[in-house]
Structure 1
Amino acid sequence: MTETNEMQNEEIRCIGCGAVIQTENPDELGYTPNSALEKGKESGEIYCQRCFRLRHYNEIMPVSLTDDDFLALLNQIRDANALIVYLVDVFDFNGSLIPGLHRFVGDNPIMLVGNKADLLPNSLRRSKLKDWIRQRSNEAGIRPIDVELVSAKTNESVDDLLTNINKYRKDRDVYVVGVTNVGKSTLINQIIRQNTGIQELITTSRFPGTTLDKITIDLDDGHELVDTPGIIHKEQMAHYLKGKDLKVVQPQKQIKPKVYQLNPEQTLFFGGVARFDYIHGDKKHGFTVYVENNLFIHRTKLENADNFYDKHFGELLTPPSKESIDDFPELERFEFKTERKSDLVFEGLGWITVPENVTVAGWAPKGANVLLRRAMI
């Protein structure tokens, strides 16, 4: 029997992303050289080449999985008897929502977990945030049995989450689901670390689509905790930016809100990735901006905004960097008239809290989403 057939029978999987290990085709999922496979067998930690390069060199390699492949993997959950831990990014809540979640979780109960709670201002009471998340989830047709808040990165409240998972799972497996980039693998790593002491077993990255197949961790009572591949949500900003540019727009520390006093017909640019226009209102208003603290924001007149963008895109207005502007989509405009205090949301970038009875517009890369929601804060 060849080693390849032997591997297929044994189904050795990459512990970083879950892909089945193979040594034949460098362009396919799960490829690792024979030499690396032998070393991995000796150490007990086998990574595919993609995960190895991502972990050690922060290089992302393209994958051949399609959206349908991801959904097919997740559809297995419908037939499982499991507690569904549905992870969302509280900073990118709308970009974290999974359309039609009920279609592939079946009758399994859902625990909704808001990750990256450490990014939001301390002035926002956690009980109020939980209520806001539950209300927005109900509007999306999701009826969670509980709402929890954590920070997988800082380990905030992960102990409480584990206690509640054990409370609700009732002799069932646990499936962790979410869109790409919400921090699922980071959370799983915290759980593994607390239970085994092993650090960073699963590959984590700010790049979308790091986990490629379900990753299974045995629980003490014979059941399993399963990290599923993130559903690719193409409306998130992360799909339109590359490595260093992506780092500039994704918050790493607690957000410091910035208030801009704007007159009608004024514009704010967020680097070169987004734009906000205050089009019409009866007076000067304060607009509160929640984006990564180091993202460059520039104010100008609305009448000059198009020319200003054309002139300074990729130079003064970055990201994207000058090397990336050729691949960056043109900005698409979304206009709204508010009836109440609201958030104008750039999915994956942040939001601007706007007052009632004003007309505003948000611009984002074509394909990324801009929407209006009830104000979070």
Structure 2
Amino acid sequence: MAENEVIVDGEVVRCIGCGAKVQTTDKQALGYTPESALKKGIENGEVYCQRCFRLRHYNEIAPVSLSDDDFLKLLTSISDTDSLIVYVVDIFDVNGSMIPGLHRFVGNNPILLVGNKLDVLPARLKKTKVKDWLRQQANAAGIRPVDVELISAKTNLDVDRLLDQIEKYRQGKDVYVVGVTNVGKSTLINSIVRQSTGIKELITTSRFPGTTLDRIDIPLKDGKLLVDTPGIIQPEQMAHHLVGKELNLVTPQKRIKPKEYQLNPEQTLFFGGVARFDYNAGEGRRGFTVYAENNLFIHRTKLENADDFYTNHVGSFLTPPSEDDKDDFPPLEGHKFKITQKSDLVIEGLGWITVPEGVSVSGWAPTGVSVLIRPAMI
């Protein structure tokens, strides 16, 4: 028996909506129920976890995180279906959004790849280039999508077009929406629900049957299902190292405004305390363009002092992380590159720095977070 399980009359209390074991200690875990709600539920004989309660009464579909093994079991079951897979990734964290082995678990079902957070990309960035980049990254992971779409679930940008594409490719089949946590999958699902059912048709008790631990079944007009699957936890995401306001300072919230920096060799840029960029060597002063959250603090210093500067100021001058969280924040790991053509150095989950040809540079990110080079998008 787990320490946080609720026992009444010798039996484990389970949510009658999804079957999860009810617990009152971890808000992010399955079965969480506030103690006040638990008491009322026991009195009424109907105990719902917070997720099911909000689904039933507010038609809010909250994200659920399962272990890798549980999620892979769900993916394996998808391979036995005849369906369309809508695979949602974060444009700013493509590698962190990749589900390892996805192509092996969905069988012969077609995959429609969806890049979210289109609304924060710089205005000059052409969508065709982003689509090509996403397709290349998917191909490198063994995924061959039938098409690639870009949307903003937050602002509903191009969601109508995505719905048309879903109809085009599903051909009367069920639709499974998959993705890792923090890519905006649940926001997209809620947007689809609003546009597909119309808010006036929603009723107090949930219209969505099958609200089990592993899926939410949303009926489509032709009787088929749109299935929302829980997000798999991907520890390599930048988002897993930050919370609340700290995450908002790192993750782009509005359309990115490029920042130009003229750097001399052996100069460093710190992005708060979460990342770092070094201009190691090159022919004199060169221009570098930063594409990251507009409110993220960026500090320039000398490369020779960078290590000591970070040690002395992370959590105070260099934030996020905060003073309270700096001890739990992973160390920054460096990745060195020699640039032979104009390129973007991408720090997954943060953004990118456009780098001129003929220089040596390094990108630093929390251990496990990807840093990579791609041809310049702009």
Structure 1 unaligned runs (5+)? 14-19, 54-62, 203-210
Check conservation: 1:23, 1:34, Cα contact below 8 A.
no
The alignment partner of 1:154 has SS state of coil
CA distance in 2, matches of 1:230, 1:172: 22
Cα 1:7–1:339 shift into 2, 3 Å: same
Cα 1:24–1:95 shift into 2, 3 Å: closer
The alignment partner of 1:336 has SS state of strand
Corresponding residue number in structure 2 for 1:243: 244
Deviates more, 1:86-95 or 1:161-170: 86-95
CA distance in 1, matches of 2:10, 2:104: 36
Please give the TM-score of this superposition, normalised by the length of structure 1.
0.83
Q: Does 1:88 align with 2:76?
A: no
CA distance in 1, matches of 2:277, 2:97: 22
The alignment partner of 1:188 has SS state of helix
Q: Does 1:369 align with 2:370?
A: yes
The alignment partner of 1:275 has SS state of strand
Deviates more, 1:238-247 or 1:176-185: 238-247
CA distance in 2, matches of 1:25, 1:92: 32
Corresponding residue number in structure 2 for 1:128: 129
Deviation track 1:70-90 (CA, whole Å, cap 9, x = no partner) reads 222222211111101111111
Corresponding residue number in structure 2 for 1:60: none
Corresponding residue number in structure 2 for 1:76: 77
Deviates more, 1:312-321 or 1:125-134: 125-134
Corresponding residue number in structure 1 for 2:292: 291
The alignment partner of 2:186 has SS state of helix
Q: Does 1:35 align with 2:40?
A: yes
Query: How many angstroms does 1:372 deviate by?
Result: 2.0
Check conservation: 2:65, 2:232, Cα contact below 8 A.
no
Corresponding residue number in structure 2 for 1:59: none
Corresponding residue number in structure 2 for 1:205: none
The alignment partner of 1:322 has SS state of coil
Query: How many angstroms does 1:139 deviate by?
Result: 3.3
Query: How many angstroms does 1:122 deviate by?
Result: 1.6
1:38-49 aligned within 5 A? 48-49=49-50
1:148-159 aligned within 5 A? 148-159=149-160
CA distance in 2, matches of 1:38, 1:349: 47
Deviates more, 1:91-100 or 1:351-360: 91-100
Check conservation: 2:95, 2:370, Cα contact below 8 A.
no
Structure 2 unaligned runs (5+)? 1-7, 55-63, 207-211
Look up the equivalent residue of 1:117 and give its one-letter code.
Answer: L
Corresponding residue number in structure 2 for 1:324: 325
CA distance in 1, matches of 2:312, 2:48: 46
Query: How many angstroms does 1:24 deviate by?
Result: 7.2
Deviates more, 1:337-346 or 1:312-321: 337-346
Check conservation: 1:29, 1:64, Cα contact below 8 A.
yes
Look up the equivalent residue of 1:155 and give its one-letter code.
Answer: N
1:1-377 aligned within 5 A? 12-13=17-18, 20-23=19-22, 29-32=30-33, 33=38, 35-36=40-41, 48-49=49-50, 65-194=66-195, 195-197=197-199, 198=202, 213-377=214-378
Look up the equivalent residue of 1:281 and give its one-letter code.
Answer: G
Check conservation: 2:17, 2:52, Cα contact below 8 A.
no
Look up the equivalent residue of 2:245 and give its one-letter code.
Answer: K
The alignment partner of 1:91 has SS state of coil
Check conservation: 1:235, 1:347, Cα contact below 8 A.
no
Query: How many angstroms does 1:193 deviate by?
Result: 1.3
Check conservation: 1:91, 1:119, Cα contact below 8 A.
no
Query: How many angstroms does 1:243 deviate by?
Result: 2.4
Look up the equivalent residue of 1:102 and give its one-letter code.
Answer: H
CA distance in 1, matches of 2:348, 2:42: 39
Cα 1:374–1:323 shift into 2, 3 Å: same
CA distance in 1, matches of 2:334, 2:214: 36
Deviation track 1:86-132 (CA, whole Å, cap 9, x = no partner) reads 11111222322223220111110011111110110121222333233
CA distance in 1, matches of 2:315, 2:43: 46
Look up the equivalent residue of 2:217 and give its one-letter code.
Answer: T
Query: How many angstroms does 1:154 deviate by?
Result: 0.3
Aligned residue pairs: how many?
Answer: 347
CA distance in 1, matches of 2:24, 2:324: 31
The alignment partner of 1:323 has SS state of coil
Query: How many angstroms does 1:40 deviate by?
Result: 11
Deviation track 1:142-200 (CA, whole Å, cap 9, x = no partner) reads 2211111111100111111111111110121101111211110000001111214159x
Look up the equivalent residue of 1:170 and give its one-letter code.
Answer: Q
Deviation track 1:274-318 (CA, whole Å, cap 9, x = no partner) reads 111110112322111111110000001101111211221111100
Cα 1:129–1:301 shift into 2, 3 Å: same
Look up the equivalent residue of 2:349 and give its one-letter code.
Answer: G
The alignment partner of 2:325 has SS state of helix
Q: Percent identity?
A: 65
CA distance in 2, matches of 1:80, 1:7: 33
Please give the TM-score of this superposition, normalised by the length of structure 2.
0.83
Cα 1:127–1:3 shift into 2, 3 Å: farther
CA distance in 1, matches of 2:23, 2:222: 37
CA distance in 2, matches of 1:128, 1:25: 47
Check conservation: 2:346, 2:353, Cα contact below 8 A.
yes
Query: How many angstroms does 1:65 deviate by?
Result: 4.1
The alignment partner of 2:93 has SS state of helix
Look up the equivalent residue of 1:270 and give its one-letter code.
Answer: F
CA distance in 2, matches of 1:188, 1:38: 34
Cα 1:332–1:26 shift into 2, 3 Å: closer
